[in-house]
Chain A
Amino acid sequence: MKADTYKLKDFSSFTKDIINVSGEKINNCYQCRKCTAGCPITFAMDILPHQIIKYIQLGFEEKVLTSKTIWLCAACETCGTRCPNEIDLAAMMDALRQRALATQYRNRIGEKGTSVFHQEFLSSVKSNGRVYEAMMMAKSRMRSGHFLTYLLRGDWIADIKLFIPMLLKGKMGMLPHRIRNRKEIKKLFKKFAIGRKV
């Protein structure tokens, strides 16, 4: 079903944008909370999935786009699979993340670590055509919070303790795997203007 079957004129530009980009019939939600009941991440979320939907309907842009929830959603698709109104909340979360990055809310990301992880992941793919797990993991771990905390809390020791056996067991290469046609990948990133700084 297409989002344009809605009468969107009564909604804020925020609500319309999320409905259009996600393609989900967000206004059909009748707050049964089945999504929230099955969501594995609720214990860590600041706004529950069914509440996110309600806030979108009501146009509470700032509240939603600065929430932790939109970054903590693991895209496990449990909610979308079970929603009686066939709303795919994971697609909706994607649209929210994309709008958060594209608006002034990019400076107020609710969960910076996960956002940084995605950025490092994509920057690795952009340069190699494949992800270089070792470098991507190291860089996103270092950048996910305050670097000083990372050093002082000893997080780096835990990371090294994990990386060494991975290296020894051949799970981590010393060099990235690169594809031949990296030009094609760079073109795609350029086309969609991905290369943000957080």
Chain B
Amino acid sequence: MNTKVSYYPGCSLRGTGREYGESAEAVFKSLGTELVELPDWSCCGASSAHSENKGLAVEIAARNLILAKESGLKDMVIPCSACFQRTKVAEYELKENPQAYPDISYNSEVNIPDIVSFVHNKIGIEAIKKNVIKKLTGLKVVSYYGCLISRHPKITGAGNFENPTEMDTILEALGTEVIDWGYKTDCCGGSLAISQAEIMQKLVGNLYDKALEAGAECIAVCCPLCHANLDMYQKEISKRFKKNYNTPIFYFTELIGLAIGEKDIIKWLKRHLTDPIKLLKEKNLL
């Protein structure tokens, strides 16, 4: 069975989060869902548009909603949590205050679940298990969901927003040893990484400490901004706090890809700034 869904990659998945896009596209295909990229999609406005102008924030994200509606496909997948949340905010605003946006005709025609729920519910745990050819036995991992995949729940529709478990279930299905921790939905600082690097470093340093205290060897994420903040600055953060962090940060789609035997796995992992390959070799998983 091959299902087609609309796909909004967003700017990060064509830049800093390239391996997220590549791994999501490959894994979805192998698991029977074709991601059909929205033609000529534009930026969702990210954290900047809503800081400057509410109307712009809604209407710029609405452009992509209209493209999705025109595609005629029922569902849309948006891997980046920030793009996902901004698009959901636009959907919510257009539904709650349509009179404020007379130029836009969109009435929640497209169903937009978050990517983790999509993999968990639509692709399904059984389908994943069936495709696993190499169990990721012995890999100790914590799932880090971040903020925007679930908050605000009135916008994302998330049920278990204080203690989400769907990524944990997916990673367990791959054979990993998933460790519970209390920082699943804490903030990584998002775009403050650029303007206020020290704030981001403090938040991320704390996440490393808590993940390591819990006994994890690596962290799984589902957002390119979380990945950038956790993966790219580890050396700088180590220097600042006089620690020696060296904790691989995986996109959950990369771990699925590893377990189901995607051939491009090395290519994705080589794009990380904190080397994940050494750990996987030690564990005989690569």
Contacts and interface: CB of A to CB of B under 8 A. Distances in A.
Given A166-B232, A170-B18, A130 B190 contact: no
Contacts of A166: 16, 232, 273
B48 A172 contact: no
Interface residues of B, number: 53
A113 B195 contact: yes
A90 B272 CA distance: 32
B11 interface: yes
A169 B271 contact: yes
B194 A118 contact: no
Interface in A135-170: 137, 140-141, 144, 158, 162, 165-166, 169-170
B46 to A, nearest CB: 7
Contacts of B47: 75, 118, 121
Interface residues of A, number: 61
A169 B273 contact: yes
B199 interface: yes
B54 to A, nearest CB: 6
Contacts, number: 158
A173 interface: yes
Contacts of B202: 43
Given A78-B151, A122-B49, A171-B18, A130 B187 contact: no
Contacts of A75: 47, 50, 190
What does DSSP make chain A's interface, helix, strand, loop or mixed? helix
A183 B263 CA distance: 40
Interface in B258-286: 270-273
B12 interface: yes
Contacts of A17: none
Interface stretch (B36-44, B110-118, B168-176, B243-251): B36-44
A130 B14 contact: yes
Interface stretch (A7-15, A48-56, A186-194): A186-194
B30 to A, nearest CB: 22
Interface of A: 21, 23, 40-41, 43-44, 72, 74-78, 80-81, 88, 90, 94-95, 97-98, 101, 111, 113-114, 116-119, 121-122, 125, 129-131, 133-134, 137, 140-141, 144, 158, 162, 165-166, 169-173, 177, 179-181, 184-185, 188-189, 191-192, 194, 196
Interface of B: 11-12, 14-18, 40-43, 45-56, 59-60, 63, 97, 147-148, 151-153, 161, 185-187, 189-192, 194-196, 199, 202-203, 232-233, 236, 270-273
